[in-house]
A = this chain, B = another copy of it.
Amino acid sequence: MTATILSGSELAKSMRKEIETDVTAFVEQHGFPPTAAIVRVGEDPASISYSNALEKSFGQRGLGFQLHALSGTASQEDIVELVARLNADPSIHGIMVQEPLPQGIDESAIKDALSPDKDVDGVHPVNTGRLAQAAPVGRPPMVAPFFVPATPSGGLEILKQHEVNLEGKHAVVVGRSSIVGKPMALLLLRENASVSLCHSYTSGLPGMCLMADILCAAVGRARMIKGDWIKPGAVVIDFGVNFVDGEMVGDVDFNEAIEVAGMITPVPGGTGPMTNIMLMKNLIGAARRQVE
C-alpha cells in the first residue's frame, strides 16, 4: 500500500485565492488592508529570513505589513513599550513578536503584554486558555473568540479538507510544545478525538504511536518516527522541520511511512505552507473583529 499524500502546498494554493478575495473585499469596505506588525529584536539570521518571507507573502496577498526591528541591546521595557504602542494603534490589527528574544528577556512578560485581540500567533495565555476551555465543536463555545497558533491550525485544516473523520478516533501527538504539540492536542480533543500526548519521557513510544489512527509528529528530530511505529492505514501529520545534509526532512521517516500509512503529509510541502495561510486567516479575522 502506498499512502495518499496530503499536499499542504496544493491546499495553501487554493486557500491563497480565498484570502486574496477576502482581503480585496476588506479593502473595498474599509479603505485599508488588515495589517500586521512584526517585532524583531536583534539580528538572528533565521528570524530575519522569516520576517522577510512573511513580508513578501503578506504583500503578495495585499495584506499590510510593518516591521519593527529593535537592536539586540533593547531592554524588556523597550519591547513591552513598543508592544503597548502597537496594541493602542488602530491601524495595526495583528502583532507578532519574533523569537528568539535576546537572553535575559522574559518571554512570558512579552506575551502577557500583547493585546489578546491582536495576538494572531495565539501565544497570549488568554488565547491558550480559551482554546483549552472551549467546548467541543458543534456545542456553544463557552468562551470569547480566540486565536490558535497557525501551525497546528494548518495541520487540522489539512485533516478537515481531506475529510478525515476525527470523532472517536485515537489521535497521538508526539511533542508537547506550547506552539504545536499542546494546541494540536487541544484542537483534536475539540473534534472529539481521544488524544494521547507523548514526549521525551514517554516510555514505549513506538507502541503508543502504533495505536494512533491519527499520528501527529512535532518533536524536531529528523526521521525519528519509523514505518513500523505506524498503524497500517493511519493518517500521519508531520510538523517536523529538520535539516539533514542540507535537505529538509520531517520527524517521520517518510520513505518508510508512505508504505504503511493511509495518508501522510510530506516535508517539505505539507504542514509548512499552511502555517503562513493560517496566520493570514488569523490576521483577517482579527481585523474584522476590530473594525466591523
A224 CB to closest chain B CB, in angstroms? 16
Query: How many copies of this protein are present in the complex?
Result: 2
A167 to B77, CA, bound (A): 38
Q: In the complex the two chains form, is B144's CB within 8 Å of A112's CB?
A: yes
Interface size class of A (residues with CB under 8 A): 35 or more
Chain A 187-198 interface 0/1 with B at a Cβ cutoff of 8 Å (1 = within): 001001111111
Most chain B C-beta atoms within 10 Å of own C-beta, residue among A129, A130, A144: A129
- Among A7-15, A120-128, A151-159, A261-269, the stretch that binds chain B is A120-128
A4 interface residue, CB < 8 Å from B? Answer: no
Chain A positions 113-139 with a Cβ under 8 Å from a chain B Cβ: 124-133
A202 to B176, CA, bound (A): 21
Contact of A202 among B107, B143, B194 (CB under 8 A): B194
- Given the interface contacts A125-B126, A194-B196, A196-B194, does A168 sit within 8 Å of B132 by beta carbon? no
A68 CB to closest chain B CB, in angstroms? 24
Question: Across the two chains, which residue of chain B brings its CB closest to A112?
Answer: B144
A170 to B176, CA, bound (A): 15
A203 interface residue, CB < 8 Å from B? Answer: yes
- Given the interface contacts A144-B112, A178-B132, A208-B194, does A168 sit within 8 Å of B124 by beta carbon? no
A73 interface residue, CB < 8 Å from B? Answer: no
- Given the interface contacts A144-B112, A199-B194, does A132 sit within 8 Å of B189 by beta carbon? no
Q: In the complex the two chains form, is B197's CB within 8 Å of A189's CB?
A: yes
Query: Shortest 6 CB-CB distances between A and B: which pairs?
Result: A125-B129, A129-B129, A128-B129, A196-B196, A192-B201, A194-B202
